[in-house]
Amino acid sequence: MKINSQSLFGGAAILAVIFFATEAWPLLAVVLLVVFCGLVVADREQLAVIARDADTAAMFVDCHSQPLLSLDHFRGHELIGYRSGYPVYRTLAGRGAHWGLVGHEDEVDEMPRGAIRVFPGFIYRRLDD
């Protein structure tokens, strides 16, 4: 039988009720010891879950190699519409080049080489002049 934190906390609660009912006050120190052991076991269980679910946690963390740039550093041309309250342009001028819209990062399978990401998550590739 493997001891887990739930069984230790449950056992501590039962011991506390028994010791209170029988007025065995010095034995309440045993309850504290069991609770502290339960805390240690609970910490180890949490660390095991985190280590086991590293792939799951990676799905929730935004891990892009390209930084998300602000639209303030570009001049937009040919307004397409708005997404999340921000304008979406067909082309951008800035950073010494012209950039063409590829699409939203959720719609694009692979990030083109030399592309940039602009807030709120649109990918633009450099247009050849």
Is residue 123 within 8 A of residue 110, CB to CB? The reply is no
Higher pLDDT: 58 or 107? It is 107
The reported pLDDT for the residue numbered 59 is: 57
Share of the chain above pLDDT 90, in %: 27
* Residue 129, pLDDT above cutoff 70: no
The ranges assigned to domains in the chain are: 5-60, 68-126
- Give burial (CB, 10 Å; 0-12/13-18/19+) of 70: exposed
**Average of pLDDT values for 3-8?**
90
**Chain segment 38-50, per-residue pLDDT in tens:** 999 999 888 887 7
What pTM was estimated for this model as a whole?
0.47
* Residue 14, pLDDT above cutoff 90: yes
Plot region of 20 (φ>0 → left; ψ -120 to 50 → alpha; else → beta):
alpha
* Residue 87, pLDDT above cutoff 70: yes
Is residue 118 within 8 A of residue 74, CB to CB? The reply is yes
